[in-house]
Structure 1
Amino acid sequence: MNDFFKLTVDDQAIAHLQLTRPEQLNTMSPAFFPALRDAVRGLHDSGDARVLVISSTGKHFSAGMALDTFASQDAKLDTSNARARLNFQATLRQLMDCFTALDEARFPVLCAVQGGCIGGALDLAAACDMRYATAEAFFCVQEIQIGMTADLGVLQRLQQIIPAGLAREMAYTGERLSAERALAAGLVNAVLPDAEALLAHVMTVARQIAGKSPLAITGSKMALNHARDHGVADSLAQMCLLQSAIFDTEEMARAIMAWQLKKPGEFKPLAPIERVG
């Protein structure tokens, strides 16, 4: 248990991580990051989840990093000398890794955004596979407003999702991107009228994914991520190795039967992963 979110997994293997601090606008303090990382990597290792939905409560999805974090001794933000700067880099890499856990998870991650998705929350959303929003939602790179460069992945991921010029406009100005414009730019897959309709829509998509072969879904995510980060020739070579590792005619027979019967397939979960050490 933690103070930031609740996590459930239903009988369809849909995991739901819901931010639960609406009175604090679901802001992120230092303890949030390892809690999120451990929750996502726990699902990754167990094989219990076939898809993860991240949603929120209250008026806003998240207002990003809690401002008092920057005055906290726990944040390890000292850059006063060379040794301190090396430690700063190590701390920052660890924080980045907490959102990279979403990108590396062996299941798709769907993000449902209502209200503001601000600062560090956009770093989180950008690390997800797909994003969906309510009509009043907005997205902004808030860090520029407080005199810092966004540093948890949004600058690296955002221009892989939306046109580079728009990503730069957001990074340089801190202006809000409306849900309507986010949809037109491809940042979100759909816009729904309110939070209830949003979650219902995202859960429908999640059920579609959960009904497919988890082996094929994981392979698809691995191939898509590799192709995003590499050239076509390298990605095709990786695809040969990947497909030879996961090609399973029994799994395909189950999928074909489910498709013909127009119902979710009955597939074994992915095998648990045991971490060394």
Structure 2
Amino acid sequence: MTDWQAFTVETKDQVAQVTLTGPGKGNAMGPDFWRELPEIFDGLAADAEVRAIVLTGSGKHFSYGLDLPAMAGSFGPLLADKALAAPRTAFLNDIRTMQASITAVANCVKPVIAAVSGWCIGGGLDLIAAADIRYASAEAKFSLREAKVAIVADVGSLQRLPAVISEGHLRELAFTGKDIDAARAERIGLVNEVFADQAAVLDAAHALAREIAANPPLVVQGVKDVLNERLTAEVAAGLRYVSAWNAAFLPSGDLTEAIQAVFEKREPRFEGR
């Protein structure tokens, strides 16, 4: 057993439950999250005793997304050094490391079922986009919020969600950064089904995982591999493009304003600089 800092991992009856635990508020995604996520999913992929995985969050919420205060070190040099080649290159590498963390979930040979309660914001949406199946509790809320903090979403939502929801719905979420409830998420296909509360959605996710685990494991893994084949190259190309785009264009007065507004707990004032 590994003493994870941002997760707990439990396995029972051939089903693993991976639970986000923070340490940031609302299971926000800080350095430990990005480092540990691929280690966990690579390990589960290699574990013959695991046939399906349930991915969920501790407490009331799935995840508030990127832990901006904890990850400020990735943005600071990019802005302070006036976006010269060295900080741009370091930032590009940071983006691609984070992309690889989420991709480890998508590439895991075992089916992954996301059980979402409470808020699923930004990076949380990137994470469940990499899952195979998404369930939600009735009070769950979703937001592709990066535009509101002057960032183009760059770790998977824009690349994976076109295969999950329609292009029009994705563009609406990405352009506005608006919040949607579980009922709207179900209508647009973002989640497969909505359940009464957090306990019910977790029970349903485990029931589905056990149903999957009862099937021949190599056949299930083969089905996932075949389904992923049509998307893998397209997603990879999109991730490389957005990482280069953000390394080139992310430094801005609006990004500085967004970060300052977070720390000062106020609404940002964007000027298109």
- TM bucket (normalised to shorter chain) is 0.7 to 0.9
Equivalent position of 2:89 in the other structure: 86
- Choose which of 136, 140, 145 in structure 1 pairs with 2:143: 140
Using a 3 Å threshold, how does the CA distance of structure 1 residues 90 and 67 change in structure 2: closer, same or farther? Answer: closer
Counterparts of 1:156 and 1:71 in 2: how far apart (Å)? Answer: 24
Equivalent position of 2:217 in the other structure: 214
Instruction: Return the offset for 1:230.
Output: 7.1
Equivalent position of 1:33 in the other structure: 34
| Contact kept in structure 2, 1:70 and 1:77, CA below 8 Å | no
Instruction: Return the offset for 1:82.
Output: 1.2
Is residue 124 of structure 1 aligned with residue 123 of structure 2?
no
Counterparts of 1:64 and 1:117 in 2: how far apart (Å)? Answer: 7
Counterparts of 1:180 and 1:209 in 2: how far apart (Å)? Answer: 25
Instruction: Return the offset for 1:4.
Output: 1.5
Matches within 5 A, 1:57-68: 57-68=58-69
Counterparts of 2:72 and 2:47 in 1: how far apart (Å)? Answer: 37
The TM-score, its normalising length taken from structure 2, stands at: 0.79
Runs of 5+ consecutive residues of structure 2 not aligned to the other structure: 235-273
Equivalent position of 2:118 in the other structure: 115
The TM-score, its normalising length taken from structure 1, stands at: 0.78
Using a 3 Å threshold, how does the CA distance of structure 1 residues 137 and 8 change in structure 2: closer, same or farther? Answer: same
Counterparts of 1:229 and 1:7 in 2: how far apart (Å)? Answer: 27
Counterparts of 2:70 and 2:149 in 1: how far apart (Å)? Answer: 13
- Choose which of 169, 172, 182 in structure 2 pairs with 1:169: 172
SS in 1 for 2:134: strand
Counterparts of 1:70 and 1:32 in 2: how far apart (Å)? Answer: 11
SS in 2 for 1:111: strand
Using a 3 Å threshold, how does the CA distance of structure 1 residues 22 and 198 change in structure 2: closer, same or farther? Answer: farther
Opposite residue 71 of structure 1, the aligned amino acid is A
SS in 1 for 2:224: helix
Is residue 152 of structure 1 aligned with residue 116 of structure 2?
no
Equivalent position of 2:50 in the other structure: 49
Instruction: Return the offset for 1:2.
Output: 2.1
Q: Deviations over 1:227-249 (max 9, x none)?
A: 34579xxxxxxxxxxxxxxxxxx
Equivalent position of 2:21 in the other structure: 20
Largest Rg, 1 or 2: 1
Instruction: Return the offset for 1:185.
Output: 1.1
SS in 2 for 1:98: helix
Q: Deviations over 1:208-267 (max 9, x none)?
A: 001111110010000111134579xxxxxxxxxxxxxxxxxxxxxxxxxxxxxxxxxxxx
Equivalent position of 1:69 in the other structure: 70
Q: Deviations over 1:93-152 (max 9, x none)?
A: 111000100110111000000011001100001000010001111111111111111111
Give identity over the alignment, percent.
Answer: 38
Q: CA RMSD in A?
A: 1.7
